[in-house]
Amino acid sequence: MNLADIEGTTPFAVCRLLSDLARLVPAGQSIVEIGVYKGRTLAHLADGARKGHGALVYGVDVFDLPVPPPGRHRVSDIHAREALRSTGLEDRVTIVKASSADAAAAFDGPPVGLLFLDGGHTREAVLADLRSWMRRFARIATVIFDDYDKPGVREAVFDAGLDVEVTEDGRIAITVIDTERNRIMTDNILVLRGRRKSELRKAFRAVQRDQGPGTIVAFTGAGVLPFVDATIRGLLETNSITEPMYDGQGRALVRILGEGEDSRTAEPVDLSGDDVDALVDPDFEPPEPEQPAVTGDRNPPPQAGPGSGVGAWRDYAAAVTGESSEVWAEKSRTQIIEELSARNVPVE
Ligand SMILES: C[S@@+](CC[C@H](N)C(=O)[O-])C[C@H]1O[C@@H](n2cnc3c(N)ncnc32)[C@H](O)[C@@H]1O
């Protein structure tokens, strides 16, 4: 079988473009395709990689959908495997039979230098693909969107704030993403409000627990309500968030940091070119905070003035957590307050 014999939905002119772009991907990076179908585009990507620098190629498709979309027959992975085998490309390609999101979560290949999106074509599906795979990107990654002439794909590219080059026929859009610039690539900014510092901090910790690193959070009232700024300062001190970026409407945007990241060096959220209002998730409700692991019924010492010394806080921490006072002996008052707060122990 030749490449030109492989069945598929993508015209061969596009396949040649894919092959040319795959040629440029450095060795030590991956090329990932979402939406393999019968393997036509995947084989062209693999052929390009072979002629270029030998980047590894991964093709992701759910295949064998339990309920095939109307008008589409089931397509098993056998067709794509056979196409790769008979064109001599099978050793260069890993076929991953999984949803795009699951494959991205489990992906353990080299950083992705080229992502070809031809799976789901709704706005939500394309944004979800971007969100899932951007975590796997090499520092510079090229993303190719098929079917840019369909509204869902165009909306997703627009919403993600990406500048794209579009082929003459309008079908293919290409963008190069510099991941260190860390643009907002989400339609999911979570807005946090609270009436007090402890409330706000609890809401943040619950989001951190449930949504994890990388989530973008907007604190309302920043620069206006002192307890909001104090909360942000506390979270910076504990390396929980990036430096805030202010949107000029009283919101401070931060990204939740992962383990080992440092607030002082992590790239802040980049607001340039993004419409923050359009990205805010209107349905988001802060999750329920965890139940405090508290024993005893003591009141917290004051945070300033008489009785606010570190000794009082160490005693309080030991009493309410039931842990030995040695656990708390090395910690400063700020650290104790922060830690208790993270466990939802009252601190004011
Ligand atoms: C348009 S076809 C791909 C055509 C192929 N690129 C070609 O031209 O040779 C779309 C494929 O995407 C797959 N797909 C759709 N949504 C997906 C998802 N979320 N994860 C993985 N595969 C998906 C479908 O099973 C289908 O085979």
pLDDT digits 0-9 by tens, 33-63:
999 999 999 999 999 999 999 999 999 999 9
252 occurs within a structural domain: yes
Tokens of 248: 């000029």
How far is 313 from 334, CA to CA, in rounded Å? 9
Q: Comparing 235 with 279, which gets the higher pLDDT?
A: 235
Does pLDDT of 292 surpass 60?
A: no
pLDDT digits 0-9 by tens, 329-348:
888 898 888 888 877 778 88
- Tell me, yes or no, whether 223 and 243 share the same domain: yes
99 lines ligand 1 (CB under 6 A): yes
pLDDT digits 0-9 by tens, 196-245:
788 888 889 888 888 888 888 988 877 767 788 899 999 999 999 999 98
- Tell me, yes or no, whether 123 and 13 share the same domain: yes
Q: How many angstroms separate the alpha carbon of residue 62 from the centre of ligand 1?
A: 8
Q: What is the CATH number of the domain that holds 256?
A: 3.30.110
Task: Give the model's confidence band at 22: pLDDT under 50 very low, under 70 low, under 90 confident, else very high.
Answer: very high
- Tell me, yes or no, whether 125 and 50 share the same domain: yes
CA angle 114/119/125 to nearest 5° reads 100
Average pLDDT over residues 117-145: 89
Cα-Cα-Cα-Cα dihedral of 254, 258, 259, 263, to 10°?
-20
- Tell me, yes or no, whether 171 and 78 share the same domain: yes
Please give the pLDDT value at position 169. 93
285 occurs within a structural domain: no
Please give the pLDDT value at position 182. 44
- Tell me, yes or no, whether 33 and 121 share the same domain: yes
256 occurs within a structural domain: yes
Residue at a domain's end among 279, 312, 332: 279
- Tell me, yes or no, whether 339 and 317 share the same domain: yes
From the alpha carbon of 63, which atom of ligand 1 is closest?
25
Q: Comparing 289 with 126, which gets the higher pLDDT?
A: 126
Average pLDDT over residues 283-305: 70
Task: Give the model's confidence band at 287: pLDDT under 50 very low, under 70 low, under 90 confident, else very high.
Answer: low
How far is 250 from 1, CA to CA, in rounded Å? 62
User: What is the DSSP pairing of strand 190-192 with strand 30-34?
Assistant: unpaired
- Tell me, yes or no, whether 103 and 175 share the same domain: yes
Does pLDDT of 178 surpass 80?
A: no
59 lines ligand 1 (CB under 6 A): no
286 occurs within a structural domain: no
Which residue puts its alpha carbon closest to atom 15 of ligand 1?
Answer: 119
- Tell me, yes or no, whether 41 and 149 share the same domain: yes
Cβ partners under 8 Å of residue 220, min gap 6 = 191, 192, 193, 228, 250, 251
Does pLDDT of 301 surpass 80?
A: yes
- Tell me, yes or no, whether 31 and 167 share the same domain: yes
Domain that holds residue 84: 3-181
118 lines ligand 1 (CB under 6 A): yes
Does pLDDT of 275 surpass 80?
A: no
- Tell me, yes or no, whether 148 and 15 share the same domain: yes
Which residue puts its alpha carbon closest to atom 27 of ligand 1?
Answer: 37
Smallest Cα–Cα separation from 142: which of 28, 27, 40, 18? Answer: 18
Does pLDDT of 163 surpass 60?
A: yes
Q: How many angstroms separate the alpha carbon of residue 88 from the centre of ligand 1?
A: 22
- Tell me, yes or no, whether 213 and 159 share the same domain: no
37 lines ligand 1 (CB under 6 A): yes
- Tell me, yes or no, whether 22 and 164 share the same domain: yes
Q: Comparing 26 with 140, which gets the higher pLDDT?
A: 26
Q: What is the CATH number of the domain that holds 47?
A: 3.40.50.150
Q: Comparing 102 with 295, which gets the higher pLDDT?
A: 102
Q: How many angstroms separate the alpha carbon of residue 119 from the centre of ligand 1?
A: 4
Total H helices, total E strands in the chain: 12, 11
Does pLDDT of 283 surpass 80?
A: no
60 lines ligand 1 (CB under 6 A): yes
Mean pLDDT of the chain: 85
The whole model's pTM is what?
Answer: 0.60
Quick one: residue 24, left, alpha or beta (phi over 0 = left, psi -120 to 50 = alpha)? alpha
From the alpha carbon of 10, which atom of ligand 1 is closest?
8
